[in-house]
């Protein structure tokens, strides 16, 4: 039977890397959603109404029921608050904000306005994450090691905001690992120590190490590094009594005791937009600040070391 749910008109704000690479193609695949308008200071999109900023978009399109924010975390609170207060549903890129409390404030604004707030964690939608969670749900975990190393010049060329306060630096990809970690582990983790390597001309780290502990006492370590050229590494190894469960490739591949269990294509953003449509239809919100809280705690507890200046070119 054909889907009878009404079409949700969508406005997208911030036509940058992730909007073009992931959001636009994924929105096009979800029949409940129709991209009606974009807000961008610098770019336009053929066949879609264009506005300079979110205020102009909201004013021009009372029929746009939902907004997706693909802008940097700094400044996203004002955009989200404005859209929620105007009675629109909002989907936030990760990290959901530049601080933990601003996201909690948005939750209240959304609740008061009776609209959906969806704080996305795209890496949780990687193909193997739910199976890893299922396998680990009753496991006795003895330790976890995260290795997340990539080349910032390849993935974030020219992104000034990422080096500024609130931009997170290497925690911008590192928070993806933490979003998976906090999904697959059956217990909460907390930070015990952190080390932040900050280029002398930047406000955010280019590398970081975190020591965490599960409620059981099992150790969890994470190494994040943006200086890796050549092969890129996005691995989480969970050692449990009786099995070693490894997620490779950012959660797309699952290996248990050396045997491949899942390898699948990336459908992370398609799943996010399907969930956004479902949350709107059911009148629910989905906001989990735990990965952002862990990053905030790493900044609270972290020892800072100044390292060589970073230059994009």
Catalytic machinery residues: 94
Q: Segment contacting ligand NAP (CB under 6 A): 17-25, 193-201, 242-250, 281-289?
A: 17-25
Q: Segment contacting ligand NAP (CB under 6 A): 67-75, 181-189, 226-234, 250-258?
A: 67-75
49 binds ligand NAP (CB under 6 A): no
Binds ligand NAP by CB under 6 A, chosen from 32, 34, 147, 159? 159
Binds ligand NAP by CB under 6 A, chosen from 16, 143, 186, 219? 16
Strand partners, 109: none
297 binds ligand NAP (CB under 6 A): no
Of 25-44, binders to ligand NAP (CB under 6 A) are 40-43
Nearer of residues 222 and 272 to ligand NAP, judged by Cβ = 272
Binds ligand NAP by CB under 6 A, chosen from 14, 166, 199, 302? 14
Is omega for the bond preceding 125 within 30 degrees of 0, making it cis? no
73 binds ligand NAP (CB under 6 A): yes
17 binds ligand NAP (CB under 6 A): yes
Side by side, which strands form the sheet with 302-307?
259-263, 253-256, 243-248, 233-240, 141-149, 219-225, 207-214, 189-199, 302-307
Nearer of residues 155 and 288 to ligand NAP, judged by Cβ = 155
122 binds ligand NAP (CB under 6 A): yes
**Residue of 124, 113, 79 whose CA lies nearest to 97:** 79
CA trace torsion 278, 279, 282, 287 (10° rounding) = 160
Of 270-289, binders to ligand NAP (CB under 6 A) are none
102 binds ligand NAP (CB under 6 A): no
Binding footprint of ligand NAP on the chain (CB under 6 A):
14-19, 40-43, 70-73, 75, 93-94, 122, 155, 159, 161, 172
């Amino acid at each position: 039977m054909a889907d009878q749910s009404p079409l949700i008109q969508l406005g997208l704000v911030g036509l940058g890397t992730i909007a073009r690479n992931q959001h636009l193609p994924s929105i096009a695949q979800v029949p409940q959603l129709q991209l009606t308008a974009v807000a961008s200071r610098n770019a336009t999109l053929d066949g879609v109404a264009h506005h300079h900023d979110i205020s102009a978009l909201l004013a021009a399109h009372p029929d746009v029921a939902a907004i997706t924010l693909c802008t940097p975390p700094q400044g996203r609170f004002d955009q989200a608050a404005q859209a929620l207060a105007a009675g629109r549903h909002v989907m936030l890129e990760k990290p959901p904000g530049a601080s933990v409390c601003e996201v909690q404030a948005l939750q209240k604004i959304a609740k008061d306005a009776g609209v959906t707030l969806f704080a996305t964690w795209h890496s949780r939608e990687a193909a193997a994450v739910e199976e890893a969670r299922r396998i680990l749900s009753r496991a006795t975990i003895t330790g976890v090691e995260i290795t997340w190393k990539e080349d910032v010049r390849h993935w974030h060329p020219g992104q000034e905001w990422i080096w500024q306060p609130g931009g997170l630096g290497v925690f911008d990809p590192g928070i993806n690992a933490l979003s998976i970690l906090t999904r697959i582990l059956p217990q909460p983790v907390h930070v015990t120590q952190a080390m932040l390597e900050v280029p002398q001309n930047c406000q955010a780290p280019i590398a970081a190490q975190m020591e965490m502990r599960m409620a059981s006492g099992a150790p969890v370590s994470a190494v994040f590094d943006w200086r890796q050229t050549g092969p890129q590494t996005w691995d989480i190894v969970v050692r449990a009594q009786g099995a070693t469960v490894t997620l490779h490739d950012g959660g797309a591949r699952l290996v248990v005791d050396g045997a491949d269990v899942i390898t699948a294509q990336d459908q992370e953003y398609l799943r996010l937009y399907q969930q956004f449509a479902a949350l709107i239809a059911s009148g629910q919100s989905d906001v989990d600040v735990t990965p952002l809280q862990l990053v905030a705690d790493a900044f609270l507890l972290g020892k800072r070391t100044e390292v060589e200046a970073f230059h994009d070119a």
